[in-house]
Amino acid sequence: MWHQLKHLGLTQLEQALPALFETARQERWTYEHFLTRAIAAEVEGRDRRAAERRIKAAHLPVIKTLEAFDFSFQPSLSERLLWELADLSFVKTATNVVFLGPPGVGKTHLSLALSVKALAAGYSALFTTLSGLAESLETAAYPGLARQRLRRYTTPSVLVIDEVGYTKLAPEQAHHFFELVTARYEHGSILLTSNTAFAEWGQLLGDEVLATALLDRLLHHAEVITINGPSYRMKERRRALRETVAESTKG
């Protein structure tokens, strides 16, 4: 039987069976109840494995949640809007979400938190920084590989492009960025974070015309969320500093 289970690919059931037999005997389960539980063990196991694979494939640098985000620290930000986005209709409609603002205000945190929600709902996601993306597309040794690499960024339901604006792009990199935004346009959502106002994207991409065309596609179906507030990193640093000072003046 064990061999046949393996042959059928029922590996989750294979693992669960010994314990199920044991409990079934002890609790005198009916045949129906036993079979129901056995099938559920396989299905739940498969779902769990698939979820683990999706989370791994998403390459999130760290797990952040919306629940852990302190909205009271960022009053310019609409908490209601973020919870609306968390219902994931933006994924279904291939709407982009752009977070704009200075460092430390939570742009990456929020894009990770929305990715976590999407992954939990069964969507695929992928996290990358713009420089990581540009590098990966640029170093493709031949056109076939470049297309294959581009597909890596076009297939996930949610693509996070973090840190747009920290580095200026070379012409070829800017072209790849444009190509990707075009490929995902009306097909899949982009969650993008940037510290750079749209007016400066021409400089960022080294090409005003390309920047206009890219922004046109990126923003056609998009929620732009500007966070104007203090840096949470600085808040934590200040608190740590206060504690150190308090500690050292205690006596």
Q: Which two tokens stand for residue 14?
A: 């294979």
Nearer to Mg ion, 103 or 122 (CB): 103
Q: List the x/- string, 84-103, binding to ligand ADP by CB under 6 A.
A: -----------------x-x
Nearer to ligand ADP, 155 or 195 (CB): 195
Q: How far apart are CA 113 and CA 71, in angstroms?
A: 13
- Cα angle vertex 193, ends 199, 104, to 5°? 105
Q: How far apart are CA 34 and CA 16, in angstroms?
A: 12
Q: Check: CB of residue 158 under 8 Å from CB of residue 127.
A: no
Q: How far apart are CA 97 and CA 62, in angstroms?
A: 20
> Which residues in 113-131 are b (16+ Cβ under 10 Å) and which e?
bbbbbbbeeebbbbbbbbe
Tokens 């000072």 locate to 245
Q: Is residue 194 a contact point for Mg ion (CB under 5 A)?
A: no
CB of 195 to Mg ion, least distance (A): 8
Applying CB under 6 A, among 193, 205, 211, 217 the residue interacting with ligand ADP is 193
Nearer to Mg ion, 104 or 156 (CB): 104
Nearer to Mg ion, 108 or 189 (CB): 108
Chain mean position to CA 30: 44
CB of 89 to Mg ion, least distance (A): 25
Q: List the x/- string, 152-191, binding to Mg ion by CB under 5 A.
A: ----------------------------------------
CB of 143 to ligand ADP, least distance (A): 34
CB of 73 to ligand ADP, least distance (A): 4
Binding to ligand ADP in span 222-241, by CB under 6 A: 232-233
Q: List the x/- string, 101-140, binding to ligand ADP by CB under 6 A.
A: x-xxxxxxx-------------------------------
Task: Compute the half-sphere exposure of residue 84: CA atoms within 13 Å on the CB side of its CA.
Answer: 10
CB of 103 to ligand ADP, least distance (A): 4
Nearer to Mg ion, 74 or 108 (CB): 108
- Cα angle vertex 95, ends 211, 165, to 5°? 35
- Cα angle vertex 13, ends 9, 16, to 5°? 145
- Distance of CA 176 to CAs 185, 186, 222, 230, Å? 14, 18, 21, 33
As a whole number of Å, the CA-based R_g of the chain is 24
Applying CB under 5 A, among 108, 111, 115, 157 the residue interacting with Mg ion is 108
Q: Residue 54 binds what, of Mg ion, ligand ADP, none (CB under 5 to 8 Å, by partner type)?
A: none
Instruction: Report the interface residues with Mg ion, using CB under 5 A.
Output: 108
Residues that bind ligand ADP (CB under 6 A): 64, 69-70, 73-74, 101, 103-109, 193, 232-233
